[in-house]
Amino acid sequence: MSQAIHHDEHYDAEGSKIGMWLFIFTELLLFGGLFIIYSVYRYMNPDAFHLAAEELNRTVGSINTIILLISSMTIAMSTSALQKGQKGTTILLLEITFMLGLIFLVNKYFEWGVKFDHGIFPGSQHMLDTLSQGEILFFGLYFAMTGLHAIHIIVGMIVIGFALAGVSKGKVHADRSALLENAGLYWHLVDLIWIFLFPLFYLIH
């Protein structure tokens, strides 16, 4: 009887992993399409995209990149700690990952806030009056793509929260780690997307 239950749990875990990989594939298609749109518009408006990119804060972008790279490391380490039965370490590493995600969002909030204060946001009269069509396209893509990424960060933090609760209650452990592993996969996807967004908007001029 216990063997049958273990078998069922194994198949459930495998099924959830396959489901997560399929979901990640669809997300990559979505952002891949957006990256292609960005590339086409950049090719058509090189000077305008160069001018608009100068308005972005590279320091904040760099800090957020470092934050996400560290968070990828901490969530990977939490999975290893769980497999070793180190519950306390797993919880600590997940809490650090969650906090790093929150810091990323706070930084992004202030970065966006500066743009809004300067009248740079989709549909603003200031943009329509003072910026070229190419610059408006750049900022439209910037807000759309970084905004979508921020939503993914929030979803990732919610999933990490569930994994953290599961580990704390003993429902997620070395023999039943699918939830944490899937949270890790999703978080790595979020980090990977940012690794492409950062140079596209902040570095390539």
CATH code of the domain in which 134 resides: 1.20.120.80
In the numeric block, the tokens 């459930």 are attached to 12
Give residue-wise pLDDT tens across range 134-160. 999 999 999 999 999 999 999 999 999
Question: Can you give the pLDDT at residue 8?
Answer: 45
Alpha-carbon distances of 90 from 55, 84, 97, 184, rounded to whole Å: 40, 10, 11, 12
Domain carrying residue 173? 2-203
How sure is the predictor about 77, in pLDDT bands with cuts at 50, 70 and 90?
A: very high
Question: Mind listing the pLDDT tens digit for each residue in 109-131?
Answer: 999 999 999 888 888 888 888 88
Q: Does residue 44 carry a pLDDT above 60?
A: yes
CB burial of residue 75 (10 Å; 0-12, 13-18, 19+): buried
State yes or no: pLDDT of 3 exceeds 60.
no
Contact 153, 101 (CB under 8 A): yes
Q: Tell me how many domains the chain contains.
A: 1
Asked if pLDDT for residue 5 goes beyond 50, the answer is no
